[in-house]
């Protein structure tokens, strides 16, 4: 029995399924990290791999980033959290608000899920309406309303002209499903037709501009502008989930569009490697959180919100992810997508690569999907993707379990070239199985 097997046998006694988050579960057991340095992770068996997962897109500077380690260590010596405000949260708020044109005010929370939850509640408080609209298949965390239809299947997703609201968790209240309107991605005519059926009921339209579960394809300018206009015309809000996508440009993915959201939720990389989230937006909407108002429409707090350890780490990480760093990393990701596309053509396999900014995803499909239904992987494709991921893992590469990658500033063409080499050998292994 190796070290991982021994730890997992103990974990099974105390953790459901032996894990604290299902995304790291592997058969026969998960692997256990010993340490990380830059873009490499070494497990407790002593095997080192290139980390293209970066803890599900949350590490923009890789592991044990020296400036963060130094800054956090100094803060820990002074205290980790207080029932008081700290100066660093103000400094970090200033940096982010100056960085993004749509941010007048910001409120820090503790996770991306919490940020989205607060954003939806703020939209309801501001508009006085209960329903939300969201894109079919888009992942927005674990809040009942935000997670509707993120795992819909051909057996239950309904007609494309009227997609069904499908729960993720057993026991999701029927009322929650009734209050979530599902629209297809990048389909203006269908989306507007569906929204028009609920024009007096919608607090907001929730959009991820580069939705991972939908296929990691960018929202079109036409789609985003149409949703902006509809929201303005119908006393609703347009809100962006940039928990993952904020890493794709200096001011987030929204920088690529001609319209601004009313609110934005963030998380992951803005914590500099620590748990965090944030809700930001225009003054008039953010006032629902303001304790100086005569009536606070959305009372909100959190024991660890804006704790100085996370604020210190986040401030350092985002200062160092400046325009030059953004441009360099995005260029590296473009290089990766181009090299993978060339490898696919050379092997002659039905596959493609999608993505933008610092992220990309490999699909075992001949053409890039245009929406969730086209991105959906059936049992056959899912089994092939798993085999490809296992091959990558066995050859020194970690990726997210949809065969997606997020880059860190510690990477270079050396790591990309290794990834492409291992992917190529993986494609060659899969090709006979795909041609049957």
- Domain end: 264, 287, 320, which one? 320
CATH number of domain containing 420:
3.90.1150.10
Residue 99 domain flag = yes
Q: Which helix (H) or strand (E) holds 131?
A: strand 131-135
> What tokens does 204 get?
């907001």
> Domain check: are 72 and 55 in the same one?
no
- Reference 43, options 393, 383, 411, 325; nearest CA is 393
> Is the domain of 187 the same as that of 129?
yes
Same domain, residue pair 244 and 124:
yes
Position 429 in a domain: yes
Q: How many domains does the chain have?
A: 2
- Token pair for residue 140? 């927005």
Q: In this structure, is residue 225 part of a structural domain? A: yes
Task: Please compute, for residue 258, the number of CA atoms within 13 A of its CA located in the half-sphere on the CB side.
Answer: 8
Residue 229 belongs to a domain: yes
Task: Kindly give, in sequence order, each residue whose CB lies less than 8 Å from that of residue 379, ignoring residues fewer than 6 positions away.
Answer: none
Strand partners, 362: 353
Q: How far apart are CA 241 and CA 251, in angstroms?
A: 13
Task: Say whether both 331 and 373 belong to one domain.
Answer: yes
Q: Are residues 55 and 70 in the same domain?
A: no
Tell me: do 98 and 199 sit in the same domain: yes
Residue 4 placed within a domain: no
Q: Is residue 250 part of a domain?
A: yes
Of 287, 320, 353, the residue that ends a domain is 320
Q: Report yes or no: 358 and 329 within 8 Å, Cβ to Cβ.
A: yes
CA angle 371, 227, 220 (to 5 degrees): 45
Q: Are residues 53 and 81 in the same domain?
A: no
The DSSP bridge pattern shows strands 352-356 and 359-363 to be antiparallel
pLDDT at position 436: 55
10 in any annotated domain: no
- Asked which of 320, 350, 376 is the last residue of a domain, the reply is 320
426: which 2 tokens? 């993986």
Q: Quick one: pLDDT at residue 26?
A: 82
Among candidate residues 268, 201, 273, 274, the one with its CA nearest the CA of residue 241? 268
User: Domain span at residue 389?
Assistant: 31-60+323-434
Q: Do 333 and 235 share a structural domain?
A: no
CATH of the domain at 147: 3.40.640.10
- Would you say residue 189 lies in a domain? yes
Per-residue confidence in pLDDT tens, the chain, 436 aa: 799 889 999 999 999 999 999 888 888 889 999 999 999 999 999 999 999 999 999 999 999 999 999 999 999 999 999 999 999 999 999 999 999 999 999 999 999 999 999 999 999 999 999 999 999 999 999 999 999 999 999 999 999 999 999 999 999 999 999 999 999 999 999 999 999 999 999 999 999 999 999 999 999 999 999 999 999 999 999 999 999 999 999 999 999 999 999 999 999 999 999 999 999 999 999 999 999 999 999 999 999 999 999 999 999 999 999 999 999 999 999 999 999 999 999 999 999 999 999 999 999 999 999 999 999 999 999 999 999 999 999 999 999 999 999 999 999 999 999 999 999 999 999 999 886 5
Looking at the fold, whether 354 and 424 belong to one and the same domain comes out as: yes
Both 150 and 269 in one domain: the answer is yes
- Give the span between the Cα atoms of 62 and 383, in whole angstroms: 29
């Amino acid at each position: 029995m190796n070290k991982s097997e021994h730890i997992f046998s103990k974990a099974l006694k105390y953790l459901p399924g032996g894990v604290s988050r299902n995304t790291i579960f592997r058969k026969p057991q998960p692997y256990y990290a010993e340490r990380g340095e830059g873009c490499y992770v070494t497990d407790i068996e002593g095997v080192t791999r290139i980390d293209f997962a970066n803890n599900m897109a949350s590490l923009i500077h890789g592991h044990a980033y020296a400036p963060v380690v130094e800054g956090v260590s100094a803060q820990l010596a002074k205290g980790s959290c207080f029932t008081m405000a700290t100066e660093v949260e103000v400094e970090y708020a200033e940096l982010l608000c100056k960085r993004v044109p749509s941010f007048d005010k910001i409120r820090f929370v503790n996770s991306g899920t919490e940020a989205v939850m607060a954003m939806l509640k703020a939209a309801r408080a501001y508009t006085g309406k209960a329903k939300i609209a969201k894109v079919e298949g888009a992942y927005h965390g674990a809040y009942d309303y935000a997670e509707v239809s993120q795992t819909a299947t051909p057996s239950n997703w309904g007609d494309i002209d009227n997609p069904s609201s499908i729960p993720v968790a057993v026991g999701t209240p029927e009322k929650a499903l009734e209050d979530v309107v599902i629209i297809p991605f990048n389909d203006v005519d269908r989306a507007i037709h569906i929204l028009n059926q609920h024009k007096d009921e919608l607090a907001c339209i929730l959009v991820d501009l580069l939705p991972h579960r939908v296929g990691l394809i960018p929202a079109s300018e036409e789609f985003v502008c149409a949703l902006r206009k509809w929201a303005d015309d119908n006393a609703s809000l347009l809100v962006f989930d940039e928990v993952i996508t904020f890493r794709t440009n200096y001011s987030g993915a929204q920088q690529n569009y001609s319209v601004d959201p009313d609110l934005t939720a963030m998380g992951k990389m803005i914590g500099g490697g620590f748990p965090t989230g944030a809700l930001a937006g225009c003054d008039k909407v953010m006032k629902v959180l303001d304790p100086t108002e005569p009536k606070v429409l959305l009372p909100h707090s959190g024991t660890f919100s804006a704790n100085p350890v996370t604020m210190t780490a986040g401030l350092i990480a985002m200062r160092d992810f400046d325009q030059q760093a953004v441009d360099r990393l995005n260029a590296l990701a473009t290089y990766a997508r181009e090299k993978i596309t060339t490898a696919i053509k050379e092997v002659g396999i039905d596959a493609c690569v999608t993505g933008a900014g610092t992220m990309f995803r490999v699909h075992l499909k001949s053409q890039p999907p245009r929406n969730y239904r086209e991105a959906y992987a059936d049992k056959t494709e899912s089994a092939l993707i798993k085999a490809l991921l296992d091959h990558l893992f066995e050859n020194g590469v970690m990726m997210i379990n949809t065969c997606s990658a997020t880059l860190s500033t510690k990477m270079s063409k050396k790591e990309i070239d290794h990834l492409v080499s291992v992917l190529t050998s993986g494609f060659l292994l899969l090709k006979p199985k795909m041609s049957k």
